[in-house]
Amino acid sequence: MKYIYAIIASTIILTSCAEKTTTTVEAVIDSGDISQLRAKKKEIEANQKEINQKLEALVDAIAIYDTVKRLPLVTTITATETVFNHHLDIQGNVSTKKNVLVYPEVPGIIKSIHVVEGQRVSKGALLAVLSDGGIDDQIAQLETQTKLAKTTYERQKSLWEQKIGSEIEYLRAETNYFANINAIKQLKKQLKKTRITAPFSGIIDDVFKEEGMVIAPGQGSELLRIVNLTNMYIDAEIPESYITSVTKGKHVEVFFPILNKTVQASVRHAASYVNPSNRTFKVEINVPNPDQDIKPNLTARLKINDYKNENAILIPQSIISENANGQQYVYIATNKKTNGEAVVKRKIIETGKTQGDVIEVITKFPNGLEIIDEGARSVTDGQSVKILSNEALKL
């Protein structure tokens, strides 16, 4: 230390003496003498070189005798095994298989409509009645004829059993009787079709026709729409690369932006057919709807669990660097002392799937290994650092 002080003192004395024994720069400039100007410049350059050499000596001496180290400050995270669920984010649309347009099966005039929009109905409930076009009268007439045909048939049968009369008369009476019975059955089926009933329980979403209108089977003759919102599902198209990981039963988190609502669901069906035009396959996802606020054609954001690792090491993507060979690496803290000092070591790693800001490390890391977090971009291999804090990774 005495040597350092001597150097500092001599530097100050030389500088002050030089200022007193030599002509000032201003005086030389004012003289306008080129030889004096050049001589003064040479003198100052010599003094500057000497001062720089002494400053370097001071810096080297301070590095030797200074007991307080100036180490880079870093923070670390602890490598800890955790359960890692990777999700495929995709969009889908809500559908229901019970969203039906009700059409008439027979032509006729709408005699009455028994429901209104928004009304809840049970399966088999009467929705509307059409005119029967005289079918009821035909049934009544046939029933009268059938009574006579039955009497004739029974008599001919009795006579034939007694070997009286001809067989042809007996067969004709039998045929006529059973033909009438079948005709009545067919007419009753036709008559039943004039009474339109609910194919399932649901809500009358829209009524398209009014009483007195003529209606017939076919396109454009829909009478009403009935919807059941109890069992909804979502259609989504998944890239073919996920065909082995997105399968029936996989957990799905469904978010409806319009409703600001999230529900938990599962894959009900995963198609085996890949669409050649866009290289995707379809999945159906069950959507519970107890409040019945989820409607058909709503847009939903899906997070499908396509991968799970029970013992994953996750680290922030931001601390990963890459060398000239394309290898990824992180810095770890080794030889850590009780005062927080440690030595940085570069570790080559292999990574797997990403989720948000974190990435899965495939390379085996021992539990408790400290990885440089803040300051990872400013340290080098083999450098000593001071660890300010160590925390577990917050996901």
Residues 90 and 109 reside in one and the same domain:
no
Last residue of a domain, one of 214, 244, 273: 214
Q: Is residue 377 part of a domain?
A: yes
Q: Is residue 339 part of a domain?
A: yes
Residues 77 and 61 reside in one and the same domain:
no
- What pLDDT does residue 265 have? 92
How does pLDDT run across 336-385, given as a tens digit for each residue?
888 888 999 999 999 998 888 899 998 887 778 899 999 888 899 999 99
Q: Tell me which DSSP letter residue 361 carries.
A: E
Q: Is residue 280 part of a domain?
A: yes
Residues 273 and 393 reside in one and the same domain:
yes
Residue 394's pLDDT band (cuts 50, 70, 90): low
Q: How does 279-308 read in b/e, with b if 16+ C-beta sit within 10 Å?
A: ebbbbbbbbebeeeebbeebebebbbbbbe
Q: Is residue 223 part of a domain?
A: no
Residues 82 and 188 reside in one and the same domain:
no
pTM equals 0.56
Residues 263 and 173 reside in one and the same domain:
no
Residue 7's pLDDT band (cuts 50, 70, 90): very low
First-to-last alpha carbon distance for the chain, in angstroms, is 52
Domain count, the chain: 3
- Boundaries of domain holding 137: 104-214
Q: What CATH number is given to the structural domain containing 244?
A: 2.40.30.170
Q: Is residue 224 part of a domain?
A: no
Residues 264 and 310 reside in one and the same domain:
yes
Q: Is residue 394 part of a domain?
A: yes
Last residue of a domain, one of 156, 182, 214: 214
Q: Is residue 221 part of a domain?
A: no
Token look-up 């009933």 returns 197
- What pLDDT does residue 266 have? 92
Residues 247 and 388 reside in one and the same domain:
yes
- What pLDDT does residue 18 have? 44
Q: Is residue 175 part of a domain?
A: yes
Residues 363 and 264 reside in one and the same domain:
yes
Last residue of a domain, one of 184, 214, 244: 214
Residues 244 and 365 reside in one and the same domain:
yes
Residues 130 and 158 reside in one and the same domain:
yes
Radius of gyration of the chain (CA): 47
Average pLDDT over residues 235-263: 93
